Amino acid sequence: MRNMLKPSLKITAIPLFVLLGISPLSSAQDNDVTAEDSAVETTARLPLTELRTFADVFNHIRLSYVEEIDDKTLLENAIRGMLQGLDPHSSYLDAKSFDDLQVSTKGEFGGLGLEVGLENGFVKVIAPIDGTPAEKAGIESGDLIIMLDGKPVKGMSLNKAVSLMRGAKGSQIELTIVREGRVQPFDVVVTRDTIKVVSVRGRTLEDGFGYIRIAQFQNKTGSEFKKKLAELQTNNQPLKGLVIDLRNNPGGILQASVEVADSFLNEGLIVYTEGRIDNSYSEYSATPNDIIDGTPIVVLINGGSASASEIVAGALQDHRRAIVMGTDSFGKGSVQTVVPLTKESAIKLTTARYFTPNGRSIQAQGIVPDITVERAKIETIATNQTVTEADLQGHLSNGNSDTESEKQRKAKADKELFNADNQLYEALNLLKGLSILSKNNMTNTSNAPTIVADPESL
């Protein structure tokens, strides 16, 4: 398994006077390119004419803007704009943003509990994080945030919007949201809190059937996932089926998603990346270690499943190791590399696209589930009262009095899951069906006649 290497960009240095113009009074006439300039442009492969235009704009702002702005701020703003114009995931990280990025991957930070990106100038919710103020306030994947405390988001950088949403624990912020299916924007007041993301949670759904929820891929997600899976195997012997819930999982650490997928594969590619520079190509392969030995798996995804969670779903789907159920995922199929500039700043730059083992690019398309199940509230249709054998006077006892109470308990549990989460209910039912089919095949094989070849007929 090879780790992805950070790209090394080498650009020949250009004198500062070339980058920033001859003098603060440089004019359009200075844009004539001399033979010496052409030599520099050929070596550096940078457009001198456009750089001089940039220097002119820089000087006009510095000299004529209504308020004085220091050169450092102007240049940082230029860098931000340059990166913001590339794609929604490339950005400039000042000291605070750099620190926030490192803290968020460790699983604890302050704020609302949202994974967000930019779309058409507005903040788009990729997914609310489990158990956070944003989820409790009813914010959903796909929501567009158009105002923050009455301030329009349009035109803000993503870093600025995130900064406004962060704040002291207990303080409140009003989000104005546009949601598909609702005619008018609406306001939601959210109380900030310290966000502690529990990456992996799990439980037994029914005897033999386990459930693991991954909320976000963090540094320790791979080891925590294996630990939780080991607990489920101990409590359910044998483990008949497993649901991996990646709904509203915004992604996170690439290596963590590879570890999770590798837990169920014995060979082959998990994911590979391709970019413009040589060392942006990387591939991650499985090791011979399916720790649940072929036990059926259902992976749940939805529109909030992005990036690293799409890597897991795509790898298990391509290898036919799991059935993917739910709705189409988000479609973030790009890799960001953090390139430090100084001790206090860095850029987060999109350097590659990633592909599933079969060569599918997830970018702007997402993972399409094998079985589509929309999230819905479902009501049971009432049936006419019918008479059964048990209603007849003097009917014979079945001799299984305890079984009846167990049947009622199970029916109640099924109904509760059915009403609470229809997608998980359908995933569990599918695993039950696969388990029954597996048992039938084993039974048929064990009862089949043994055929012995007659040596004399060979």
The CATH number assigned to the domain holding 184 equals: 2.30.42.10
- Residue 329's pLDDT is what? 96
Do 336 and 212 share a domain, yes or no?
yes
Query: Do the domain assignments include residue 15?
Result: no
Say what the pLDDT of residue 25 is. 35
Is 458 within a domain? no
Domain end (from 50, 84, 118): 84
Q: Which pair of structure tokens corresponds to residue 289?
A: 């270690």
Q: Is residue 227 part of a domain?
A: yes
Q: Annotated catalytic, 439? A: no
pTM of this prediction exceeds 0.85: no
Selected residue with higher pLDDT from 43 and 51: 51
Question: Are 206 and 355 in the same domain?
Answer: yes
Of residues 343 and 230, more confidently modeled = 230
In a domain, 404, yes or no: no
Q: Is the domain of 71 the same as that of 204?
A: no
Q: Residue 445: pLDDT above 90?
A: no
Angle at 433 between CA 431 and CA 437, to 5 degrees: 115
What number is the average pLDDT over the span 120-132? 86
- pLDDT average, residue stretch 83-89: 90
pLDDT of residue 400: 64
Q: 14 pLDDT exceeds 60?
A: no
The answer to whether residues 345 and 216 belong to one domain is yes
Is the predicted pLDDT of residue 159 greater than 90, yes or no? no
Does the pLDDT of residue 74 top 90, yes or no?
Answer: yes
In 3D space, the residue among 433, 419, 197 whose CA is nearest the CA of residue 298 turns out to be 433
Average pLDDT over residues 145-168: 89
Considering the domain architecture, whether residues 313 and 237 belong to the same structural domain is answered as yes
The yes-or-no verdict on residue 130 having pLDDT over 90 is no
Same-domain check for residues 184 and 126: yes
Same structural domain, 326 and 223: yes
Residue 196 in contact with residue 109, Cβ under 8 Å?
no
What does pLDDT average to over the chain?
Answer: 83
Q: What is the CA radius of gyration of the chain?
A: 29
Q: Name the domain count of the chain.
A: 3
Res. 401 pLDDT band, cuts 50 70 90: low
Q: Rounded CA gap, 383 and 162, in Å?
A: 52
Catalytic residue among 100, 143, 193, 318: 318
Answer for the pair 270, 261: CB distance below 8 angstroms, yes or no. yes
Q: Considering the domain boundaries, does residue 449 fall inside one?
A: no
- Higher model confidence: residue 414 or residue 302? 302
- Can you give the pLDDT at residue 407? 67
Catalytic annotation on 307?
yes
Give pLDDT, residue 6: 38
Domain boundary (196, 225, 256) is at: 196
Q: What is the pLDDT of residue 128?
A: 87
Whether residues 167 and 186 share a domain: the answer is yes
Mean of the pLDDT values across residues 177-182? 93
276 in any annotated domain? yes
Query: What's the rounded mean pLDDT across residues 196-200?
Result: 84
Query: Choosing from 100, 332, 334, 348, which is the catalytic residue?
Result: 332
Percent of the residues in the chain that have a pLDDT greater than 70, as a whole number: 81
- Return the CATH number at 362: 3.90.226.10
What are the distances in angstroms from CA 139 to CA 1, 144, 194? 38, 10, 18
pLDDT interval class at 97 (50, 70, 90)? confident
Same domain, 242 and 183: no
| Domain presence at residue 129 | yes
Domain endpoint, select from 141, 176, 196: 196
Which one has a higher pLDDT value, 419 or 14? Answer: 419
| Annotation marks residue 227 as catalytic | no
Active-site entry in 280, 282, 307, 309: 307
Q: Tell me, what's the pLDDT at 381?
A: 74
Q: What is the pLDDT of residue 52?
A: 93
* Burial class of residue 327 in the structure, from the number of CB atoms within 10 Å of its CB (0-12 exposed, 13-18 middle, 19+ buried): buried
> Which domain, by its residues, includes 147?
108-196
pLDDT tens digits for range 56-72: 999 999 999 999 999 99
More confident residue, 309 or 392: 309
The pLDDT of residue 39 is above 80: no
Residues 70 and 148 in one domain: no
Q: Is residue 66 in some structural domain?
A: yes
Specify whether the CB–CB gap between 116 and 161 falls below 8 A: yes
Whether residues 210 and 184 fall in one domain: no
* Whole-Å CA distances, 381 to 384, 393, 399, 410: 10, 28, 31, 19
SS3 123: strand
Q: Answer yes or no: do 365 and 225 share one domain.
A: yes
